[in-house]
Structure 1
Amino acid sequence: MRKMLVLAAALLAAAPMAASAADAMSYTYVEGGWTQLRVDVPGQSSFNWNGGYVRGSFAIAEQVHVFGGWSRVSDKTNYVGQSVEYTFDQPHLGIGYHMPFTDRLDFTADLAWKRRSAETKYRSDLFGNERLKYDVNTGAVNVGVRGKPSRMTEAWVKAGYFDGSDTDGEWTGTVGGQVNFTRTWGLVGEALFYDRFAEYSVGVRASF
Structure 2
Amino acid sequence: MNIAIARTLAAALAGALSFAPSFGAAAQERSYTYLEAGYLAQSLRSPRGDAVGLDDIDARGGYLAGSLALNEHWFASAGLYKGRDDVDLRAGATTLVRLDLDAQQVALGLGYRAALSERVDWTAELGWLNTRLAFEHKPLALRERSDGDDARLSLGLRGDLAPNLEGWAKLRYTDGDVYDGEFGGAAGVLLKFNPIWGASAQADFGAGNRQYTLGVRASF
TM over 0.5: yes
Q: Count residues with an aligned counterpart.
A: 199
1:38-57 to 2 correspondences below 5 Å: 38=43, 48-57=58-67
- Which of residues 57, 66, 72 in structure 1 aligns to 2:82? 72
Task: Provide the C-alpha distance between the structure 2 equivalents of 1:149 and 1:34, rounded to a whole number of angstroms.
Answer: 24
Question: Which structure shows the higher strand fraction?
Answer: 1
- Long gaps (5+) in structure 1: none
Partner of 2:161: 149
Task: Provide the C-alpha distance between the structure 2 equivalents of 1:97 and 1:202, rounded to a whole number of angstroms.
Answer: 25
Whether 2:195 is the aligned partner of 1:195: answer: no
Identity %: 30
- Which of residues 52, 59, 70 in structure 2 aligns to 1:60? 70
Cα shift at 1:9? 2.7
Task: Provide the C-alpha distance between the structure 2 equivalents of 1:63 and 1:179, rounded to a whole number of angstroms.
Answer: 23
- Long gaps (5+) in structure 2: 47-54, 89-96
Cα shift at 1:119? 1.3
The 3-state SS of whatever aligns with 2:14 is helix
- Which of residues 14, 25, 32 in structure 1 aligns to 2:37? 32
User: Contact 1:18–1:103 (CA<8 Å) still a contact in 2?
Assistant: no
Whether 2:105 is the aligned partner of 1:90: answer: yes
The 3-state SS of whatever aligns with 1:7 is helix
Mark the CA change 1:29 to 1:200 in structure 2 (over 3 Å): closer, same or farther.
same
Task: Provide the C-alpha distance between the structure 1 equivalents of 2:66 and 2:103, rounded to a whole number of angstroms.
Answer: 20
The 3-state SS of whatever aligns with 1:163 is strand
User: Contact 1:142–1:161 (CA<8 Å) still a contact in 2?
Assistant: yes
Partner of 2:135: 120
The TM-score with structure 1 as length reference comes to 0.87
Mark the CA change 1:123 to 1:59 in structure 2 (over 3 Å): closer, same or farther.
same
The TM-score with structure 2 as length reference comes to 0.83
Deviation string 1:34-89 (CA, Å, 9 cap, x unpaired) is 01013589xxx9853210000111111111111101001111369xxx85211111
Task: Provide the C-alpha distance between the structure 1 equivalents of 2:37 and 2:122, rounded to a whole number of angstroms.
Answer: 24
The 3-state SS of whatever aligns with 1:196 is coil
Cα shift at 1:19? 3.4
